[in-house]
Structure 1
Amino acid sequence: MIDIHNHLLMNVDDGPVSEDEVLNLLHQAIDQGITNIMLTPHHHAGSYMTPKDTVLEKLEEVQKLIDDNELDINVHHGQEIRINETIIADLNRGFNTSLNDSQYILVEMPFTELPPFYNKVIDELLEDGYTPVIAHPERCAEIAADHDKLAELVNKGALAQVTAGSITGDFGEDLQETGLEMVKNNLIHVVASDAHHAEVRPFMLRKAFETIDEELGEEYSERLKDNAQKIFADEPVLVDGTARIR
């Protein structure tokens, strides 16, 4: 499996603070059957600024741990970028990065209200040849209350990523119901771990896909896994029909 969103880099955001914590997460990912991880620290989010050069530098620390411990897993660079009005300019100057320099860029919305410029920024990214992947829309209160707002973005060409812990119910019944409804209505295209710590915010991809199998059917989980592989390979993700607007 491929994981496109997590916080595995050490001492850059609210993820691990020691080599042991990073190793625990890596072992956990391997046990889940994850083969490739996009490392996506918070960027442009509150006090967290993690420019591309920092991501690449800190990725080398993780790679050394993998090599020294002979772990069978691969890591790649990325960012979780809080939506802002300078995303394109920052991409052009190398301050921002897409997922492993692909067309796909992980964009986070605020957890409460959407900013007035969010549609304009998504349009700019699409016009510039990027495919925005909206991180955990089920956790954005305004989108959770009105799925049409997400459907509008998806019908423009954006994709969306649900967090594994939302699907499993570990983040509460409301988020689980919202996440599963979004998957069912073709508003979600990929599941990611958003892992931070092996105990508090662990990798739960396997459990998430088992839940989707049980609640919606294996065809959903297989499509979501395939989409993650396509994002990793920088191939087009074909959306299954038009996102349903309620």
Structure 2
Amino acid sequence: MIDIHNHLLMNVDDGPASEREVLDLLHQAIDQGITNVMLTPHHYAGPYMTPKSTVIEKLAEIQKLIDDNDLDIEVHHGQEIRINENIIADLTTGFDTSLNDSRYILVEMPFTELPPFYETVIDELVENGYTPVIAHPERCAEIVSDPGILLELVNKGALAQVTAASVTGDFGEELQETAFKMIENGLIHIVASDAHHAEVRPFMLRKAFETIDGRLGEQVSEKLKDNARKIFADEPVVVEDPERIR
């Protein structure tokens, strides 16, 4: 499996603060069958500003831990960019980065109100050849109250990523039902861990896909897994006609 959203970099955001915590997360990922992870620290989010240069520098620390401990997992650079009006300019200068320099860029919306410029930024990204991946829309209050917003973003060319813990119910039954409604209506294209800590915010991809298997069938979970693989390979993700949640 491939995970496109997590917080494994050490001492850059609200992820791990020690080598031990990083190793715990890496072992957990390997135990779940995860082979590749995109390291996506918070960027432009509150106090967190993590430019591409910092991501590359801190990724080297993770790679050394992997090499020193002979771990069978690969790491790649990325960011979880809180939506802002500078993304295109910052991609041009190298301050921002897409997922492993692919066409895919992980974009986070605020958890409460959407900024007035969010549609313009999504349009700009698509027009410049990027595919925005909307991080955990099931946790964005304005999108949850009006799922038509997510439908419109997908129709514009964006993809959407649900968090594993939302799917499993570990974030609560209400979030789980929202997540499944989004999946069932073709509004979700990838499941990712959003892992921060092996105990508090762990990798839960295996449990998430088992939950999807049980409710929607193995074909759905395999498609979601394959979409993550396509993002990793910088291949196009085919989006079937999404539907409005009613």
Q: Per the shorter chain, which TM-score range? A: over 0.9
Return the alpha-carbon distance in structure 2 between the equivalents of residues 245 and 87 of structure 1: 30
Deviations 1:82-120 (A, max 9, x none): 000000000000000000000000000000011100000
Please give the alpha-carbon distance, in whole angstroms, between the structure 1 residues aligned to 2:51 and 2:135.
18
What does 1:1-246 align with in structure 2 at a 5 Å threshold? Answer: 1-244=1-244, 246=246
**For the residues of structure 2 that align with 1:165 and 1:245, how far apart are their CA atoms?**
21
**Cα separation, 1, equivalents of 2:60 and 2:16:** 15
Contact 2:40 2:78 in 1 (8 A): yes
TM-score (norm. length: structure 2) = 0.99
The amino acid across from 1:32 in the alignment is Q
The letter for the 2-side match of 1:13 is D
Q: Aligned partners of 2:60, 2:13: CA distance in 1, in Å?
A: 17
The Cα offsets for residues 50-82 of structure 1, whole Å up to 9 and x where unpaired, read as 000000000000000000000000000000000
Amino acid at match of 1:143: I
Shift of 1:192: 0.1
Q: Are 1:154 and 1:243, in contact at CA under 8 Å, matched by a contact in 2?
A: no
CA distance in 2, matches of 1:210, 1:129: 34
Residue type at the aligned position of 2:119: N
Secondary structure of 1:161's match?
Answer: strand
- In the alignment, is the contact (CA less than 8 A) between 1:155 and 1:243 conserved in 2? no
State the Cα distance separating 1:245 from its structure 2 match. Answer: 5.2
Offset, 1:217: 1.3
The one-letter code sitting in structure 2 at the alignment partner of 1:116 is: P
Q: Secondary structure at the match of 2:110?
A: coil
Deviations 1:171-221 (A, max 9, x none): 001100000110000000000000000000000000000111111111110
Aligned residues: 246
Q: Deviations over 1:108-136 (max 9, x none)?
A: 00000111000000000000000000000
Amino acid at match of 1:8: L
Query: SS of 2:200's equivalent?
Result: coil
Distance 1:174 1:144 in 2: 11
Is contact 1:182-1:188 (8 Å) kept? Answer: yes
The one-letter code sitting in structure 1 at the alignment partner of 2:204 is M
Query: What is the TM-score when the length of structure 1 is the normalising length?
Result: 0.99
d(CA) in 1 for partners of 2:169, 2:181: 13
Structure 1 portions without partners, runs of 5+: none
Structure 2 CA distance, aligned partners of 1:243 and 1:202?
31
Please give the secondary structure, in 2, of the residue aligned with 1:215: helix
Percentage of pairs with the same residue: 80
